[in-house]
Amino acid sequence: MFDQALNFVVGNVNDVLWGSGQLLIYILVFAGFWFTYQLRFVQLKQFRHMFSVMKNSQHGDKAGISSFQALCTGLSARVGTGNLAGVSVAISLGGAGAIFWMWVIALLGMATGFAESVLGQLYKVKDENGEYRGGPAYYIQMGLNKRWLAIAFALCLFLGYGLSFSAMQANTITDALNHALDINPTYSGLVITILAGVIVAGGLRSIARFAELVVPFMGIAYIASALIITAINIELVPTLFAEIFASAFGLTEAGAGALGAAIKNGIQRGLYSNEAGAGSVPHASASATPNPNHPVTQGYVQMLGVFIDTMVLCTCTAFIILLAGIETSGQMEGIRLTQDAMTSHMGDGGVYFVAAAITLFAFTSVVANFAYAESNLHLFHMDNKIGRSIYTACYLGMVLWGANASLKQVWAMADMALGLMTLVNIFAIVLLTPTIKALYQDYLAKQASKSDMTFRQNEVQTQGTLETGIWNNEKN
C-alpha cells in the first residue's frame, strides 16, 4: 500500500517536472542561456583561465578545505552513477542523439554552475566547529531573506542527497557486482553501508581527503581506457559522430519521436550527471578557502567540474557504448549496458573493469552526498552530536535499503528530488543575478589592473547580508 502511494506521488510530480510538462527542461535551458548572456559567455571567454585558477588550489586553512579538495568533493558527487549508468539510460531511451543534448546542457550548465558556486562561497557561514558551511539554503535565507524557501530547499536536499541519491548509487554498485561476480546485493550493500559509515564519521574534512585521493586516480584510469578503446576503433569514429548528430536532430529513420526522446533524456541525464543548477555543488564551494580569496575563484573551479564530468567522462562512456555496436531494447537499461559494452571491447575482463569503476565512482558519490545534506543541519541548529547522529542513521539506512530496491523506483525518487531542488535553486540564483554580476565584474577589474585579488565586501554591493567576520576585511 505504501509503495503504491509513493509511486503515485513520485510519478505525478516527475510527470510535471520531466514528463509531459517538461517544466525543468525549459527552466534549465533558460537558466543556461540567462547566465551565459549575463556573464558574457564566461564558459568560453574564461575557458583557459578556468584551468589556471587550479595552479594555486592546493591549500586551505583551519576553517576551509582547499579549492582542489572542493573540486574533488564536487566531482565525487557528480562522478558516479550518472557517468556510467546514467549515460546508458540516456542512450537506451533516447538513442545516440541524447549525447549531443548532454553536451549542450553541459555547455550551458557551465555558466549556471559558475553562478551558483559564486553565491555558495559568498554567503558561507561558520558552524560550531569554526568550519565553513553554505549552499542554496544559506544564500536564499541571507541573500533573499526568504527563510521559508530556504527550508523548502533544505528539505528537498535531505530527500535527494541525504536519502534517495545515496540509495540509488548503492543500487548501481550492488547490481554491477551481482552481474560481474554474482555477489548477493544484501551482502555487498551491507559492506558499502559500513565503509560509508566509517568515512562520514570523520566529517567533511575526512570526506574531502578521501575524494582528493580517489577521484583523480579513478578519473584518469577511466579516461585512459576510453581513449584506448577509441584508438582501437578509430575508423568507426566519423560514423559515430554522424550517428550522434543525425539522431540528435531527428534525421534518423525513427524521426520526430526519437528527437523528443533524445532531447528529454539527454538533458535529464545530463543534469543528473553534472548537477549544474541543481544547487548541490555550492555546498562544496562554500566549504573552501579559495586562492585568491574571492568568491569568483570557486565559480571557475566548479565550472571546470561541469566540464570534466559531462564533456569528458560522460563522453567516454558514450563512446564505449556506441563503439561496441550493441543494440538497445528501448527500455531503461542501467549499468549492465555499460558492462556489456566494455565486455565487447575487453572480453570477459570488461564486466569486471566496469564493476570496479562503478564501485569507486558511485561510492565516492555516496560519501559526498552525505556532506552536502549534512551542511544544512546548521540551518536547523542541528549541527551537534544528536542532530548528526539522527541524520547519519537515516542516511545509512537508505544506503542499505537502496542496495535491494528496484532500478525504476530508485531512479524515480532521485529524479523527483533533483527536480524540486533545481526548481527552487534556479528561482533563487536568477533573483540574485545582480550580486553574481557585481562579483564577476569586481574580479575582472582586479585581474585587469593586476591588483590584489582578495574580495572585500565594502567594495562590492551585494544583496542581503553576509556572515560577520568572514568578508568584512578592510582594504590595506
Pairing of the two strands 132-133 and 125-126: antiparallel
Q: What is the mean pLDDT of residues 282-290?
A: 86
Question: How many other C-beta atoms can be found within 10 angstroms of the C-beta atom of residue 408?
Answer: 12
The pTM (predicted TM-score) of the whole model is 0.85
pLDDT in tens, 376-426: 887 787 777 788 888 888 888 888 887 776 656 667 777 788 888 889 999
CA of 270: how far to CAs of 28, 59, 102, 148, 195, in Å?
Answer: 11, 31, 5, 29, 29
Between residues 405 and 165, the one the model is more confident about:
165
pLDDT of 278: 83
Cα separation, 24 vs 268, in Å, equals 9
pLDDT band at 183 (very low <50, low <70, confident <90, very high): confident
pLDDT in tens, 288-343: 888 888 999 999 988 998 898 888 888 888 898 888 877 665 554 566 777 778 77
Q: Which residues pair with 126 in a beta bridge?
A: 132
The burial class, CB within 10 Å (0-12 / 13-18 / 19+), for 152 is middle
pLDDT in tens, 58-76: 666 666 777 887 777 777 7
Percent share of the chain, pLDDT over 90: 19
pLDDT of 193: 87
Go through the domains of the chain in sequence order and give each one's CATH number.
20-449 (1.20.1740.10)
pLDDT of 249: 81
pLDDT above 90 for 144 = yes
Average pLDDT, the chain: 82
pLDDT in tens, 75-129: 776 766 667 767 877 787 778 888 898 898 889 999 999 999 999 999 998 877 7
H or E segment to which residue 126 belongs: strand 125-126
* Displacement of CA 159 from its chain's centroid (Å): 16
Q: Any idea which of 12-16, 141-145, 228-232, 349-353 has the lowest mean pLDDT?
A: 349-353
Helices (H), 182-202: 185-200
pLDDT of 270: 76
Report DSSP letters for 304-330, one per residue: HHHIIIIIIIIHHHHHHHHHHTPPP-S
SS3 helix, strand, coil % of the chain, rounded to 5? Answer: 75, 0, 20
CA of 400: how far to CAs of 216, 403, 473, in Å?
Answer: 27, 5, 46
Cα separation, 359 vs 353, in Å, equals 10
Answer yes or no: are the C-beta atoms of 298 and 120 closer than 8 Å.
yes
pLDDT above 90 for 433 = yes
pLDDT of 139: 95
Answer yes or no: are the C-beta atoms of 32 and 108 closer than 8 Å.
yes
Distance between the two ends of the chain, CA-based, in angstroms?
66
pLDDT above 80 for 275 = no
pLDDT of 259: 66
